[in-house]
Amino acid sequence: MTPSQATKRVNELSKLLEYHNYQYYVLANSEMTDQDFDKLMQELIDLEKRFPDLASEDSPTQKVGGQLQKEFPTVKHKYPMLSLGNTYSEEELLDFDKRVIKLAGRSTVEYYCELKLDGVAIGLTYRNGTLVQAVTRGDGNAGDDVTPNAKTIKKIPIHLKGNGYLDKFEIRGEVIMHRSGFDNLNAQRKKDGEPVFMNPRNTTSGTLKMLDTATVAKRPLDCFLYQVMGDKLPFKSHMEALKTAEKWGLQITEHAEICKNINSVLNYIQKWEKKRNKLGYDIDGIVIKVNDFAIQQELGFTAKSPRWAIAYKYAPQSISTKLLEVTYQVGRTGAVTPVANLEPVELGGTIVKRASLHNANIMEDLDIHLDDEVYVEKGGEIIPKITGVELKSRKRNTRPVKFISRCPECNEPLVTNEADAITYCVNEWKCPAQIKGRMEHFTSRNAMNIDSLGKETLEMLYDQGIVKNIGDIYELKKEEILPLNRMAEKSANRLLEGIENSKNIPFEKVLFALGIRMVGETVAKKLALHFGSIEKIAAASVEELTALHEIGESIAKNVTQYFAQLQNKKIIDKLGVHGVKLKVDKDSLTVKKSDKLAGLNIVISGVFKNFDRSGLKKTIEENGGNLTSSITGKTDYIVAGDNMGPAKLEKAKALKIKLLNEDEFLEMIK
């Protein structure tokens, strides 16, 4: 094939594939079999490899992925990505309507209402009909340029269709993952022996930040768009702008409606509160926007949010079901957690069969009996928990559930720590659940990050006597791994490569990975940075440890007890022999950006939109703040997200500690 013939064919294939992508993913109309589509895509891939000059950044092959990114550049938003004001109250919504009407000088105002998707915000910029940039929210003023990853999302067109589109504009929306796609992804990960993901929203966020676009392309991401941005837009209303964008091939938010007044808005909210579980994806409320662009312009913005929009958030859902039995889980530290096994019930779009009962004190306070009708709530829309018992329906002669006295895994007597109300199995070196739990924690993402060594693989290695502790992981040989169930040559090589790569993990993460009781990521980092090496930490006395800010006597005793045990010393020696980092690498330390939070003790609580928790922790440390895990009289601020725990909120009020929302926190470090 000559270069001119190749050019002609590449153009033909590109147009054909773009057309069928739009028909299938946006219009849900399949005009071609998957097999035929894949053949055309493969032909285009082969041609672009053979004639590299014909490969372009906006080719349909970009939806397959394949690029490896070194990093995501930070890009300043042309139009700041402001947060919306939130309310859970119809009264506050009526007040919002009154303010809008008063400021706009109208007798009534028309609203555009849409579902508040629980995903990751993104801004897409098109120039002359071609996608040129995709940027995450970030801190609202600047975000990460994730364009290569956004191009792999099937519902995001690389080229707009038709004509008449603006020369340059931005359209914002939410990247989400449907529950069915999330469930399928987790099923496959479980089958492969990999850890399952917690929820669709966090999985979406993590996927968008992956450096391998081929992996991103395989994840079931979707995108709904909800706001057109640009200079001198030729539209009179929010609805008109989005309907026009839809004609250009962009997928706008589903189920949006125009409400002529606030009463219609309230009806819309009530309707979707009943129907939201029937959606294939998660929502946490309704967004209400003034539809008329002229009125939007009149109302303008505060420093934090538009005056013409507000989000109404739904309260966590609760439902009753029957308690079948209580079982017990043993964690890596020996902590024993009671779990309620329930008659399956649908809650928040998922089937709930189990819920946490936390500890013996809570069980006693609830006074639960077998066969009780119990109330289940999804805390933060994620983790089910028992919140109460329907005493009126309790049957006669039912037995109260009493906390067990022996470990369900090794049958050793249990001990309850009165200080934290947690019951422990103290048989840490012979209890299989604790040993497996420590290995699982050690290999986890926030610790040594050996993602190829999942829970099922670790259990097989332990049950067959190949690995008895975390130190043995570094002595694994391929001939020991290959006989394991579902372990092929490629998987074995990947596992060994993951173990080898973990030797580059910085010391503060290694210290966290050891699983010392009460030593979380924050405490591990404080200890690592202060002492510099595991040798010095092991030699430190309780007095030397408690001299550090926020290292109390309980933490100090746990640290000294850990290093006093001969078994732990042997494991650490083994890690050192195999090249695991046991002292601070100066190059890996947090780079300080400012002293704006210097001397401030800050606690974070809740779920955040602009940050994940590790990102927020890093930002506090980069600006000189002292991150603390518990609220005390010495706490200066609490950065509070959605679903902050009621106990923490009550304690903050009692101690008169100022709560900062995300916008207020960002203003502090601006």
Residues labelled as active-site residues: 116
Residue found by looking up tokens 């829309």 in the block = 381
With tokens 């909800």, the residue in question is: 226
Nearest to 368 by CA among 386, 345, 352, 383: 386
Give the three-class secondary structure for 596. Answer: coil
For the beta carbon of residue 1, count every other beta carbon within 10 angstroms. Answer: 11
- Name 501's Cβ contacts closer than 8 Å, sequence gap at least 6: 449, 450
> Cα–Cα distances in Å, from 169 out to 63, 116, 234, 476?
22, 23, 11, 55
CA gap 512, 272 in Å, rounded:
43
Among 254, 253, 279, which Cα is nearest to 349's? 279
Alpha-carbon dihedral sign for residues 177, 179, 184, 185: positive
Q: Side chain identity at 335, as an amino acid letter?
A: A
Backbone phi and psi for residue 565, each to the nearest 5 degrees, phi listed first: -85, 130
Give the whole-angstrom CA distance, residue 212 versus residue 60.
17
Report in angstroms the alpha-carbon separations of 311 from 139, 224, 259, 568. 19, 17, 15, 51
Report the candidate in 72, 47, 62 with the shortest Cα–Cα distance to residue 213: 62
Q: What secondary structure does DSSP assign to 407-419, as a single string?
A: -TTT-PBEEEETT
Closest CA to 379 of 349, 351, 348, 344: 348
* Degrees, nearest 5: CA angle 107-111-116: 150
Question: Encoding tokens for residue 574?
Answer: 């083994």
CA distance 157 to 139: 26
Q: Are 322 and 342 in contact (CB under 8 A)?
A: yes
* Token pair listed for 340: 């309620």
Give the DSSP H/E element, type plus range, for residue 87: strand 86-87
Ramachandran bin of 115, using left for φ above 0, alpha for ψ from -120 to 50, beta for the remaining angles = beta
Distance CA 489, CA 477 (A): 12
